[in-house]
């Protein structure tokens, strides 16, 4: 396992991080299997675990908390907030009122007195940067969080939040967690240059593109009922973007074979090859998934292999642009357009 500094914090984290989104009812990975995955991940050298309050409505945090009991200090623990956690309209967002409550709830579920990294899961356009950063700074000073970061922020929001922190003399986001894979390279255009400019750590989620780069989705191969049921539109091969992804995968398999790698090794090695990326977050549902992904921990791609990937999916290109979730609200909500 390789390790890198988390931005400019000095904290050393593994280049593969364990994501716990699949722990809990959503992906049917319960306490026993989730605990076994965590045990195996730590044994393999992974020292960063990333979860969120809304993953299976808190169940993921509970599974992680029970699994790490007694060895909390051996790992870097990260969680997130802002997405809805209940029917009340104030059980979400980036307000001080909610973040203070959400963090206390997460600490209780995790069974710890602090988290190392607390992340704003999505930018909240209804809340000012000063409000959110002020709350996070106070939580940091109270010792409940060591650092805080953003997740899936567009580049202009990364820049704006860094400016706001300096303008109001507050602590700043030290990490960003964007979606990044061979098939979704859009962040190379603006996001990664911005994070590099500000010395932010980058924790890339979905490096296997929701399974497209796991080897489970191939031409002439039936898509599992799990994927077809959970994310039907994302795997519908009548959708042009999905056909483009499938075509790219078939070409990438040939590149991996020629390099003596699995497709997973190629995919994860690509993400961690970028100098602006700190860690690739893997999200195994089973121990077998974990083992196949940890096998990529020391993968280093040659320049020839990286050039071959660029010829299949050009730098800065998203093959499924409609799946971007950092689009400004004014482009998604007709009532906000031209205002």
Is residue 337 within 8 Å of 329, Cβ to Cβ?
no
- From the list 16, 291, 7, the residue with the least C-alpha distance to 147 is 7
pLDDT value, residue 265: 98
Instruction: Identify the CATH number of the domain defined by range 3-334.
Output: 3.20.20.100
**How many angstroms separate the Cα of 229 from the Cα of each of 27, 70, 233?**
11, 37, 9
CA 100 vs. chain centroid, Å, equals: 23
State how far the Cα of 251 lies from the Cα of 315, in Å rounded to an integer.
Answer: 16
List Cβ neighbours of 270 (8 Å cut-off, separation of 6 or more).
Answer: 181, 182, 207, 301, 306, 309
pLDDT value, residue 236: 86
Q: What is the pLDDT along the chain (339 residues), one digit of tens a residue?
A: 999 999 999 999 999 999 999 999 988 899 999 999 999 999 999 999 999 999 999 999 999 999 999 999 999 999 999 999 999 999 999 999 999 999 999 999 999 999 999 999 999 999 999 999 999 999 999 999 999 999 999 999 999 999 999 999 999 999 999 999 999 999 999 999 999 999 999 999 999 999 999 988 887 777 664 544 556 678 888 889 999 999 999 999 999 999 999 999 999 999 999 999 999 999 999 999 999 999 999 999 999 999 999 999 999 999 998 787 777 767 767 777 766
CA 249 vs. chain centroid, Å, equals: 21
- What is the DSSP code (8-state) at residue 29? B
Identify the three-state secondary structure at position 247. Answer: helix
Question: pTM, whole model, 2 decimals?
Answer: 0.93
**What is the residue extent of each domain of the chain?**
3-334
Catalytic residue of the set 3, 55, 147, 180: 55
pLDDT value, residue 224: 61
For residue 139, report the phi and psi dihedrals to the nearest 5 degrees: -65, -35
319 CB burial (10 A radius; 0-12, 13-18, 19+) = buried
pLDDT value, residue 338: 67
- Active-site residue, 118 included: no
């Amino acid at each position: 396992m390789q390790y890198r500094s988390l931005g400019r914090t000095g904290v050393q984290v593994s280049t593969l991080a364990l994501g716990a989104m699949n722990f809990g009812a959503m992906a049917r990975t319960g306490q026993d299997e989730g605990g076994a995955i965590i045990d195996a991940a730590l044994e393999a050298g992974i020292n960063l675990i990333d979860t969120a309050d809304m993953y299976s409505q808190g169940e993921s945090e509970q599974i992680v908390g029970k699994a790490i009991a007694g060895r909390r200090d051996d790992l870097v623990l990260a969680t997130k907030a802002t997405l809805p956690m209940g029917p009340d309209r104030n059980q979400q967002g980036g307000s001080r009122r909610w973040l203070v409550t959400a963090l206390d709830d997460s600490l209780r579920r995790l069974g710890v007195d602090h988290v190392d990294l607390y992340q704003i899961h999505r930018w909240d356009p209804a809340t000012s940067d000063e409000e959110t950063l002020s709350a996070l700074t106070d939580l940091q000073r109270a010792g409940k969080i060591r650092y805080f970061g953003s997740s899936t922020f567009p580049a202009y929001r990364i820049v704006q939040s860094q400016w706001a922190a300096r303008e109001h003399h507050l602590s700043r986001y030290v990490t960003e967690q964007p979606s990044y894979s061979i098939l979704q390279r859009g962040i190379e255009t603006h996001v990664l240059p911005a994070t590099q400019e500000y010395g932010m750590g980058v924790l890339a989620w979905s490096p296997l593109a929701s399974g497209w780069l796991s080897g489970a989705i191939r031409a002439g191969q039936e898509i599992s009922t799990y994927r077809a049921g959970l994310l039907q539109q994302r795997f519908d091969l009548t959708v042009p973007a999905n056909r483009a992804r499938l075509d790219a995968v078939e070409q990438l398999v040939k590149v991996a074979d020629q390099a003596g790698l699995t497709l997973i090794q190629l995919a994860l090695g690509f993400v961690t090859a970028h100098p602006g990326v700190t860690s690739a977050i893997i999200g195994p549902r089973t121990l077998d998934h974990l083992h196949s992904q940890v096998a990529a921990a020391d993968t280093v791609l040659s320049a020839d292999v990286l050039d071959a990937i660029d010829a299949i999916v050009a730098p800065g290109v998203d093959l499924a642009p409609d799946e971007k979730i950092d689009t400004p609200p004014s482009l998604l909500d007709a009532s906000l357009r031209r205002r």
